[in-house]
Every structure is written in C-alpha cells, then in structure tokens.
Amino acid sequence: MASISNEVVFEYVQSDGSNDNHLNICLSSVKILSNLDSSIPGAYHIDGTYKLIKNRFPLIVFVKTGINQKLHVLAFCITSKEQEEDFIFFYRSLQKMADLLEKDFDPNYIVQDACNASRNAAIKFFPDTNILMCYFHVLLNCKKKIK
C-alpha cells in the first residue's frame, strides 16, 4: 500500500516478518525526496544497519551524494529480511514515490557493499545502472586479505 501526503511518503507490506511473509516499510518525506531526481548529478548509495531496531530487523538507508559532496538522505526501509525481493520492493517503492512527485529516478550509479541481493535487485530494476563497491568496504576487504 502506498501513501503520499503533504509531508510524509510511505509504502508497506503488512505481514508478520516471517521467512514466508516479509515485512517491508519504506519511509520518506516530500521535502527530502526533492533530491531523488536523477537529472541532478550525483550517485545513490544504499546500506543497511542492524542495531537501531529492537528486534534487529535491518534498516536500509538510501542516500544521494552530489557534486558538492553533501549527503542527502532520501528514504529508509525497515525489512524483516535482506533478500532480492525485499530490495526490489524498496526500489519499486522509490520509483512509485518519484512518479507521484514527478521526479526522474533512473540512477546512473548505485554505491553499495557486497550484498548480492541488493546488487541483483538493482541490476534487475535498473538494468543500465553501474553498481560500484563502497570505498569503505573495499578498504575493509583489502585489510582482511592483507592480514
């Protein structure tokens, strides 16, 4: 179910969060979605964290960096799983929000960690998008290999 008001934008799938019924809640606001426009130069970034939600559901954060190197938070998604279908739901939700706000959302670049589910969903949803490995994660993996 999608909803848009003057300020808050959200989409969710009502479920119990089990393996068969994933829970997905995507949140944003009209104001911060003004930076969703792909005609504005920059790269999109996606990453998750696990220590913010009491039941340890992943919180997926979607941001954009521009030429001025400022970070613009665009949306959050609370999900019970981190599988390809969950990232497709997230990207589909962002696309719906962009369409409702008449924004062009077709990323040239998405920066992320090595999460295959996220990568596969991005490639399926945005076939012309370039997927880049997050610099932090590249350094982290290099340090692991050197040890």
82-124 confidence digits (pLDDT tens): 999 999 999 999 998 888 888 899 999 999 988 899 999 999 9
Please report which confidence band the pLDDT of residue 60 belongs to, taking 50, 70 and 90 as the band edges. Answer: very high
Prediction pTM value: 0.84
Res 129: pLDDT: 94
Residue range 7-58, pLDDT digits in tens: 666 676 767 777 888 888 898 988 888 888 888 888 999 998 887 777 788 9
Largest CA distance in the chain: 52
Question: Is the predicted pLDDT of residue 3 greater than 70, yes or no?
Answer: no
CA distances from 8 to 30, 40, 50, 54, 84 (A): 6, 22, 24, 23, 26
